Amino acid sequence: MKVRVGVNGYGTIGKRVADAVARQPDLELVGVAKTRPNFEARRAFERRIPLYLAGPGTAADFDAAGIRTAGTLADLLGRVDVIVDATPDKVGRENRAAYERAGIRAIFQGGEKADVAEASFSALSNYAACRGKRRLRIVSCNTTGIARAAAAIEPRWGVERWDVVLVRRATDPADSHKGPVNGIVPTLQIPSHHGPDVRTIYPELPITTTALVVPTTLMHVHVNHVRFRRVPGGRAELVAAFRETPRFRLFASWEHVEGTAQAMEVARDRSEGRGDMMENVVWEEGVRVDGSDAYFFQAIHQESIVVPENIDAIRAMMDLAPDGAASVAITDRALGLGRA
Ligand code: NAD
């Protein structure tokens, strides 16, 4: 029998997770919950995804828009084994009690503080430790990207020191309310919150992150300097490590993927859907190893990178796969993600 999954919050992350759930062989999308009718509610309705009322939403609002609802969030919670909360930052914590009352497992997103859940999750790093948990938090897009890179690097060479400068996108493409539209805004808190967040997955990782926000919507870019404990054979070894790790997409110089604009064009070219890039993007030519020091850039598609991790977190909680590698393989096959 398939595990029954609901999604509360049908925005940027929620609609992607819902679509991804529907594509998994062992999961069933029971429905999604929304507070108000909008273009996303219309999409769910037209795709016959049962739509439930959340927060202050009323059936009358949806009726007026010609969108039928299937019940309230409480009804949805009564029909699922797992709820994925993809509501805005801090709303997930407010919803936690309702999930507990319903006696179901819950997944929260990176906008919540780590203590909203029993553990923070990254599929390549701590799947085994998260098996059977009742509440998991998927770390943010940037943290997921760094944790994946750590999964490629840490077991092979160990990390003496890791500095990351995060060049962050201003906002998501569909959000016309935020900026900056001009100028570069440094995050004056040092380290930025990302380093401590990575340590919710890798408690001992000596990582320091600094961040600045730039006027783009396409992706984040991380500029990495890692000092290894054990000296690798050279850059070819590091490139090979990224190649061998699931959920990395490497670009060779002849492909002329000069930056995030072309990386997202690749995503759109290969897509049958909304043109997501769920893998970490690494430019081969930008990987450099000097003795025990390594440098590389990676780009992170903020709107989609956490989607496969949400799916693996469901499998970990429900113990649906023999191990993390098996879950990642099932997820990636269903989502059409290949190795680099
Ligand atoms: P979003 O604003 O695009 O979507 C949130 C949705 O929840 C909206 O449709 C909103 O109407 C709805 N909502 C608001 N209050 C609600 C309530 N009480 N009950 C149910 N639904 C409600 O936000 P998002 O970008 O999808 O972010 C969701 C979570 O994912 C946040 O924790 C965020 O930090 C995290 N996250 C976002 C990104 C990103 O770049 N967008 C990346 C990784 C993680």
Provide the 3-class DSSP secondary structure of residue 137. Answer: strand
What is the distance in A from the centroid of ligand 1 to the CA of 85? 8
Given a contact cutoff of 8 angstroms between Cβ atoms, the answer to whether 8 and 83 are in contact is: yes
Test site for ligand 1: of 35, 67, 176, most ligand atoms within 8 A of the Cβ: 35
Is pLDDT at 248 greater than 70 in this prediction? yes
The pLDDT, as a whole number, for residue 272 is 79
How far is Cα 245 from Cα 252, in angstroms, rounded to an integer? Answer: 17
- Long-range CB contacts (< 8 A, 24+ apart) of 189-194? 192/166, 194/140, 194/142, 194/143, 194/146, 194/164, 194/166
Is pLDDT at 327 greater than 60 in this prediction? yes
User: How would you class 290 by CB atoms within 10 Å of its CB: exposed for 0-12, middle for 13-18, buried for 19 or more?
Assistant: exposed
Is-same-fold flag (3-139+306-335; 141-300)?
A: no
Residue-wise pLDDT tens digits, 175-218: 999 999 999 999 999 999 999 999 999 999 999 999 999 999 99
How far is Cα 136 from Cα 17, in angstroms, rounded to an integer? Answer: 15
Residue-wise pLDDT tens digits, 122-140: 999 999 999 999 999 999 9
Is pLDDT at 106 greater than 80 in this prediction? yes
How far is Cα 190 from Cα 57, in angstroms, rounded to an integer? Answer: 39
Test site for ligand 1: of 32, 87, 116, 140, most ligand atoms within 8 A of the Cβ: 87
What is the distance in A from the centroid of ligand 1 to the CA of 38? 14
CA angle 65, 67, 70 (to 5 degrees): 140
Closest C-alpha to ligand 1, atom 44? 140
Closest C-alpha to ligand 1, atom 33? 111
CATH code of the domain occupying 3-139+306-335: 3.40.50.720
Phi, psi of 120 (to 5 degrees): -90, 150
The pLDDT, as a whole number, for residue 113 is 97
Catalytic residue, candidates 44, 107, 141, 264:
141
Whether 130 is catalytic is no
Question: Which region among 27-41, 54-68, 94-108, 186-200 has the lowest average model confidence (pLDDT)?
Answer: 54-68
Predicted confidence band at 56 (pLDDT cuts at 50, 70, 90)?
Answer: confident
The domain ranges of the chain are 3-139+306-335, 141-300
Phi, psi of 106 (to 5 degrees): -140, 140
Helix axes 324-335, 307-318, angle to 10 degrees: 140
Is pLDDT at 340 greater than 80 in this prediction? no
- Please report the DSSP string for 246-282 in residue order: TTEEEE-GGG---SHHHHHHHHHHH-SSS----SEEE
Q: Using only C-alpha atoms, what is the Rg of the chain?
A: 20
**Residue 9 DSSP code:** -
Residue-wise pLDDT tens digits, 270-323: 987 899 999 999 999 999 999 999 999 999 999 999 999 999 999 999 999 999
Closest C-alpha to ligand 1, atom 27? 88
Given a contact cutoff of 8 angstroms between Cβ atoms, the answer to whether 80 and 33 are in contact is: no
The phi-psi region of residue 60 (left if phi > 0; otherwise alpha if psi is between -120 and 50; otherwise beta) is alpha
What residues does ligand 1 touch, defined as CB less than 6 Å away? Answer: 8-14, 33, 35, 54-55, 86-89, 91, 109-112, 140-141, 172, 302-303, 306
Phi, psi of 118 (to 5 degrees): -70, -30
Architecture per CATH, domain 141-300, reads as 2-Layer Sandwich (3.30)
Atom of ligand 1 nearest to the CA of 33: 20
